[in-house]
Amino acid sequence: MLELSIADQSMISAGGNATGALQETLDMALAAEQLGYHRFWLTEHHNMPIIASAAPEILIDRVASVTTRIRVGAGGIMLPNHSSIKVAESFRLLEALHPGRIDLGLGRAAGTDPYTARLINPSNDFKEENFPRKVEELQAFFADAAMTSRGPVLAVPRIETMPQQWILTGGANASVAAQWGLGLSLPHFITPVENTEGVERYRREFSPSGSFPQSRVSMGLFVICAESEEKAELLQKAILMTFT
């Protein structure tokens, strides 16, 4: 069965402001829940004046608080910007506040330009091989298995259920998702190419986990709604100018 979900970037409309854009995000989440959508994800972007939220972990709590059923999450947290324990603790807290409704999508990009990324995390060396290591660290903090030379370190709070985790990738990190039994989410709106090889590798290598007894794949697409085809084409051009 195909499940429809929404990833919202809280974009500021022409003549609008951040407060209005965030209210539109809340209104969209309420409408999505009423219409039967399955998930509502928030994104992480930095140094982009057109976007109202650079902190999805804060907005997730607000969206989950005004809804009752729909799953809410990050699509995603850009892992190079954050320490693994901080991500684990933030999403453990969200799961404690909204049990069984929190998703954590993980991306390997910074969601911004290199100069801003360096300000966000001065230790970011932009090496692609760091992403699998940080995912491994994160799994240890979610499994209460993180160790240091002085002993174990526990991410808090202690909770009974864990957020569902997804790897956001064009296919390069499909094996990472498979190794840890995480969901695979393909951002077609960023890399609009068919990647059956990555999906096939993910399904072939998948190890079942508590969150996902079977492999799960989602795909993110830009969807434009307007009163006419002409207006839709204008919106499409604006989006392409922003993200290409």
Compute the average pLDDT of residues 53-65.
98
pLDDT digits (tens, 9 = 90+) for 93-139: 999 999 999 999 999 999 999 999 999 999 998 888 899 999 999 99
Our measurement of the distance from residue 75's CA atom to the centroid of its chain's CA atoms, rounded to an integer in Å, reads 2
- Domain positions in the chain: 6-243
User: For residue 29, with 0-12 CB atoms within 10 Å meaning exposed, 13-18 middle and 19 or more buried, which class applies?
Assistant: buried
Give percent of the chain above pLDDT 70.
Answer: 96
pTM over 0.85: yes
Whether a cis peptide bond, with omega within 30° of 0, leads into 122 is no
State yes or no: pLDDT of 65 exceeds 80: yes
CATH for 6-243, options being 3.20.20.30, 3.40.50.150, 3.40.630.30, 3.90.180.10: 3.20.20.30
